[in-house]
């Protein structure tokens, strides 16, 4: 066989392998999400941890939804590098009923939608304790070289990812942090007029704060 023919065969084979790899990665991610969803449903049924596959060292603990964006993510039990490859991870161990929640995720996959969030967006957290509803209130850019991210208080939900969202280099010291507060409407059933007025005022203040932060980020 001529050397040129061999080179052509090798080039063709390499191209086929690259194509198969490109197709396999999204297929693997889709399969993983299906297995994680099944494990989450099993955990709701019996209240026990269910790893999505036999060798997994994590398991889904909650489902996080953003109705306005029609987004839904399964939150896994820790925020290690291995875990974040398959979904956002809960920082600080298993969630307790009514406790503050901190969740981290990769900016180029499961938490890419953090750039689309707006103050006032509703966040729905579902776990074995029930359903909690939050409203986004504040957005900030934090530098982890200067201080650690603040621990969310009771009734708060914190979402974080690397910043800038479009930076091609992994890691980096900056974090985009969104903080949501548990909705009074959810706690009171939304029946009291005073509760709706209070929430409306809070949302207005949150939107003003978000506007100020966004202007500051461009100066």
Q: What is the pTM of this model?
A: 0.72
Rounded distance between C-alpha atoms, residue 58 and residue 199, angstroms: 36
Domain region containing 204: 3-217
Tens-level pLDDT at each residue, the chain (219 residues): 566 564 555 555 555 555 545 444 456 667 889 999 999 999 999 999 999 999 999 999 999 999 999 999 999 999 998 899 999 999 987 777 788 999 999 998 899 999 999 999 999 999 999 999 999 999 999 999 998 888 999 999 999 999 999 887 777 899 999 999 998 754 434 333 333 333 333 334 444 444 433 444 443
Distance CA(177)–CA(198), nearest Å, equals: 24
Closest to 84 measured CA to CA, from 103, 64, 62: 103
The total number of structural domains that make up the chain: 1
DSSP string, 112-140: GGGGG--TT-EEEEEETTEEEEEEEEEEE
CATH number at residue 121: 2.40.260.10
Instruction: Give me the DSSP letters along 102-118.
Output: EEE--TTTTTGGGGG--
At residue 202, the 3 state secondary structure works out as helix
Residue at token pair 């693997």: 28
Q: Closest by alpha carbon to 89, among 140, 149, 159?
A: 159
């Amino acid at each position: 066989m001529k050397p040129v023919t061999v080179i052509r065969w090798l080039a063709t084979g390499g191209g086929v392998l690259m194509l198969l790899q490109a197709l396999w990665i999204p297929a693997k991610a889709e399969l993983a999400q299906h297995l994680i969803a099944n494990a989450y449903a099993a955990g709701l049924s019996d209240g026990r941890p269910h790893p999505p596959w036999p060798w997994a060292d994590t398991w889904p603990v909650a489902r996080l939804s953003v109705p306005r964006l029609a987004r839904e993510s399964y939150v896994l039990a820790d925020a290690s590098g291995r875990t974040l490859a398959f979904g956002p991870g809960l920082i600080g161990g298993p969630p307790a009923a009514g406790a503050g929640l901190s969740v981290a995720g990769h900016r180029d996959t499961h938490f890419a939608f953090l750039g689309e969030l707006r103050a006032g967006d509703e966040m729905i957290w579902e776990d074995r304790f029930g359903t909690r509803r939050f409203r986004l209130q504040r957005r900030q850019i934090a530098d982890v070289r200067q201080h650690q991210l603040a621990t969310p208080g009771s009734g708060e939900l914190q979402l974080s990812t690397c910043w800038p969202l479009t930076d091609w280099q992994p890691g980096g010291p900056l974090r985009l942090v969104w903080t949501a507060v548990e909705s009074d409407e959810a706690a009171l059933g939304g029946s009291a007029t005073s509760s709706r007025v209070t929430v409306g005022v809070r949302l207005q203040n949150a939107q003003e704060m978000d506007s100020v932060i966004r202007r500051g980020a461009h100066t």
